[in-house]
Chains A and B, each alone.
Chain A
């Protein structure tokens, strides 16, 4: 079965430190992977995606993600966290049988402390 796992419900990081939000996936065929962020009381914003090519993908707001095929992971990273990065982060993978459906992780709440 196709699935996405975000193993941490919450991640706490001090401002200025590097951050990692973890995502692993299980999908048949080539994975198309996405990260979205949701700030409090807002809609979802697209951060970045991996389709093919370079395993390190750069996205919005200084975020990047590393695709690791052998570990079936797509972890979101940022070298230096800001308090304003505090939000809910969702990893998703395209359902292989659909052009429109995404399989979502449960979400990780990121808290950046000053």
Chain B
């Protein structure tokens, strides 16, 4: 069972709504990630936080806004999304810092549908 917990599991939102995806990990990791995955495709990296600071932003549109309140929590705030943003959003965590062999552990994901 994964130790990365994501809520909600499913979310339907209109294009003018504001919603948030939440993620919590209990592995003591100091790096946390947001990925976007379309059906049957590999996940695409969106953001990485390392020691609670934004380390990587893969040129994600500003309608996606990440937040890392503490070392265990990661949020993704959503506003004015487009239907093409509908996807599975995966949170993940790993040890931080140097260590190319660090394993990234994923949550079960949040299924987002934008209508």
Binding site secondary structure of chain B: loop
B interface size (C-beta, 8 A): 31
B75 interface contact, C-beta 8 A:
no
Q: Looking across the interface, which residue of chain B has its beta carbon closest to that of A52?
A: B101
B56 interface contact, C-beta 8 A:
yes
Closest Cβ of chain B to A17, distance in Å, is 24
> What band does the interface of chain A fall in when counting residues whose beta carbon is under 8 Å from B?
20 to 34
Would you call B56 and A104 a contact (CB within 8 A)? no
Contact of A99 among B99, B103, B105 (CB under 8 A): B99
Contact of B43 among A44, A45, A49, A96 (CB under 8 A): A44
Would you call B40 and A43 a contact (CB within 8 A)? no
Contacts of B69 in A (CB 8 A): none
Residues 79-109 of chain B, each 1 if its beta carbon lies under 8 Å from chain A, else 0:
0000000001010001011111111111111
Q: Would A105 and B42 be within 8 Å (CB), given that A43-B107, A100-B55 are in contact?
A: yes
Chain A interface residues toward B at CB < 8 A: 32, 34, 36, 42-46, 49, 51, 88, 90, 92, 94, 96, 98-102, 104-107, 109
